[in-house]
Amino acid sequence: MNEFGLIQRFFAEAAASRAAAKNDSMLLLGIGDDCALITPPHGQQLAISTDTLVAGRHFPLETDAYSIGWKAVAVNLSDLAAMGATPHSILLALSLPSADEDFLHEFSRGLFAICDQYGVQLIGGDTTRSPVLSITITVLGWLPIGQAITRAGAQAGDLIMVTGTLGDAAYALRHPRSPLQHRLDRPLPRVAFGQALRGYATAMLDISDGLTQDLGHIAQASGLDACVDVACLPLHAVLQRCLDDNPNHPAVLHDALAGGDDYELCFTVPEQSVAAVLAEADRQQVQVTQIGRMLPRQSAKTQVQLRLHQQPFVLQQIGFQHFD
């Protein structure tokens, strides 16, 4: 199978049939020409982001192809969720060691499954051979002009909140085939909830490299410090049980505070908006937990203070970085 046959069979046909069914007036031209063409909706601005997954680096080599396709889209949708944007479409740059048809079949199934679930269309991409499997996806979405929730808007006194439970994916990485495997392989980006936070959250991001490090980005961008109560961290029952057995379980707290791949939202909310946020969380059946508060900056350098039972809590490594 050559490059064009591969694109046609695994991506272009499936994308074209979905585009026809969706009849999206914004999408003038999808896969097949030199560029895709989109007419932006009136009064909206484009939100655009890109993320790469490299085999063995961002997912274990034994990850199934369906999950790789799913996750490559999920991590990108999570970035749109983190700004409050509405996803529209993706581009897929795929670097493959070989044209393995079984892999491509399952990979594209996973990719289109999450696209369908979130109403997103594949509108283009690039296909190359490379020694290492690598997937780069670019995601496009819309935001009402001026309503993006950036990292920079937090105010001193705002409450810090997170969706879902933290550390599940890091736990799954350490315990292959655990009941939390799906949290590592098939994250569900909080797209609808992210959009609902427009007008309420003052700052937001998605947690991909560990809560402590990522919250540090909000604090830094907003010119503040952050204080997190470690006893408030939302934990899945599996992690909570480990902690109940050993209240100072270092690995569990490390997973929750610094583990990667959560793809939950972390956001700041002024006191007067908390009730509205909790009502929306209830409506969408999204777990939301208050974990701390934004504070005026105390020194030249931003600090994320961790506290457990009023005492400072020390973390060995605050989060994931590629070039340590």
* Residues binding ligand ADP (CB under 6 A): 7, 11, 31-34, 92, 94, 122, 124-127
Nearest distance from residue 140's CB to Mg ion, in Å?
18
Nearest distance from residue 136's CB to ligand ADP, in Å?
10
Nearest CB to ligand ADP, comparing residues 31 and 68: 31
Nearest CB to ligand ADP, comparing residues 11 and 263: 11
Could you identify the residue written with the tokens 């020409």?
33
Distances, alpha carbon 267 to alpha carbons 42, 208, 255, 279, in Å: 28, 14, 19, 16
Of ligand ADP, Mg ion, none, which one sits near residue 11, judging by CB under 5 to 8 A according to partner kind?
Answer: ligand ADP
User: CA angle 61-65-71, nearest 5°?
Assistant: 90
Of ligand ADP, Mg ion, none, which one sits near residue 31, judging by CB under 5 to 8 A according to partner kind?
Answer: ligand ADP
Of 145, 82, 149, 89, give the one whose Cα is nearest residue 122.
89
Distance CA 172, CA 174 (A): 5
263: left (phi over 0), alpha (psi -120 to 50) or beta: left
Nearest CB to Mg ion, comparing residues 77 and 94: 94
Nearest distance from residue 131's CB to Mg ion, in Å?
19
Nearest distance from residue 122's CB to ligand ADP, in Å?
5
141: left (phi over 0), alpha (psi -120 to 50) or beta: beta
Of Mg ion, ligand ADP, none, which one sits near residue 33, judging by CB under 5 to 8 A according to partner kind?
Answer: ligand ADP
Nearest CB to ligand ADP, comparing residues 111 and 266: 111
Nearest distance from residue 123's CB to ligand ADP, in Å?
7
Rounded to the nearest 10°, the torsion over CA 291, 296, 301, 306 is -20
Nearest CB to ligand ADP, comparing residues 101 and 126: 126
Of ligand ADP, Mg ion, none, which one sits near residue 139, judging by CB under 5 to 8 A according to partner kind?
Answer: none
Nearest CB to ligand ADP, comparing residues 98 and 316: 98
Could you identify the residue written with the tokens 């902690």?
243
Please report, for the chain, how many H helices and E strands are present, in that order.
11, 13
Nearest distance from residue 70's CB to ligand ADP, in Å?
16
